[in-house]
Amino acid sequence: MFVSIEPLYASIVEDVKARVSNLPRPPKLAVVTCQPDPSTQSYLKSQEKMAKRLGIEYAVFEVPKATELKQILPKLSTDVSVDGILLTHPLPSGVSEFEVASLVSPEKDVEGRNPHSLGSILYDAFAFAPCTAEAVVRIIKYFTNPAGKRVVVVGRSVTVGKPVAMLLTQKGVDATVTICHSRTPDIPSITREADIVVVAIGRAKHLTKDYFKPGALVVDVGINVEENEIVGDVDPSVAEVCDLTPVPGGVGKVTTVVLMEHVVRAAERRILGK
């Protein structure tokens, strides 16, 4: 069946609202964008709406040239009025993500893209994790205890696949994780062994029922447009045999509130020293 993430989503929203009201000023998220495409523009609109709903100040800084990213990111990193910084994707061609993500101060890196943030996760030290990866782990923990479970992550991007695996193998989470990618032979024979499968490959409805053990929890991260509809990486028929997160209204929805939660956490650390 399709599982509902609504109660999890609603509880994060309520928690974030309460924490915002305990701060002496609204937290502020600065969004930096360079040559935004229509999908980035619509993403920004929905994010702004969510920020407003939660009482978070939202400011967009649009820079026309990629070179200006190298000026604005350090500037916002030292701006005392800014708590969190988000850099939109895709980045203009020729821009090194490693280089520009390094310019966001780790304290304000609410998207968890700075190499320092990603490295801190390896050490089980505090850092903001990439929001989508954290949303996946929160969803898994909401439905089951991952400790001792066999998890297969399909996809090895820096945004989703690798950080999901890092978070699930942290001490205290204790899952046993296998990562598959486009060069992995016979993926179904691996995913069929798993209690939990996370799919982040960017291929519409690619994984069908034969990939899964009946009763497994399947977290579909994919967002693909097919015939003007948003669809996941997992074929919806998988919901007949597994617990499947919906697309839309699954991981993406939780990701948006996790981002806002990070902004509040960054503000709490800066203003209250928590």
Ligand X SMILES: NC(=O)c1ccc[n+]([C@@H]2O[C@H](COP(=O)([O-])OP(=O)(O)OC[C@H]3O[C@@H](n4cnc5c(N)ncnc54)[C@H](OP(=O)(O)O)[C@@H]3O)[C@@H](O)[C@H]2O)c1
* Residues in the annotated binding site for NADP(+): 155-157, 223
Dist. CA 206–CA 214, nearest whole Å: 18
Tokens of 124: 């089980």
Q: Which residues bind ligand X (CB under 6 A)?
A: 132, 154-157, 159-161, 180-183, 187, 200-203, 206, 221-224, 233, 251-252, 255
Comparing CB distances to ligand X, the nearer of 82 and 196 is 196
Q: What DSSP designation does 272 have?
A: I
Do residues 53 and 70 touch, judged by C-beta distance below 8 A?
no
Dist. CA 18–CA 59, nearest whole Å: 22
Query: Can you name the residues that pair with 84 across neighbouring β-strands?
Result: 29
Comparing CB distances to ligand X, the nearer of 74 and 248 is 248
Question: To the nearest whole angstrom, how small is the minimum distance from the Cβ of residue 214 to ligand X?
Answer: 22
Question: To the nearest whole angstrom, how small is the minimum distance from the Cβ of residue 186 to ligand X?
Answer: 11
Comparing CB distances to ligand X, the nearer of 77 and 159 is 159
Comparing CB distances to ligand X, the nearer of 151 and 160 is 160
Question: Which residue ranges make up the annotated binding site?
Answer: 155-157, 223
Dist. CA 118–CA 239, nearest whole Å: 33
Q: What DSSP designation does 75 have?
A: H
Give the C-alpha distances (Å, rounded to integers) separating 45 from 58, 117, 186.
11, 27, 41
Comparing CB distances to ligand X, the nearer of 85 and 254 is 254
Question: To the nearest whole angstrom, how small is the minimum distance from the Cβ of residue 253 to ligand X?
Answer: 8
Question: To the nearest whole angstrom, how small is the minimum distance from the Cβ of residue 254 to ligand X?
Answer: 8
* Nearest residue to ligand X, by Cβ distance, number only: 157
Question: To the nearest whole angstrom, how small is the minimum distance from the Cβ of residue 23 to ligand X?
Answer: 26
Q: Would you call 107 exposed, middle or buried from its count of C-beta atoms within 10 A (0-12, 13-18, 19+)? A: middle
Q: Which helix (H) or strand (E) holds 86?
A: strand 84-87
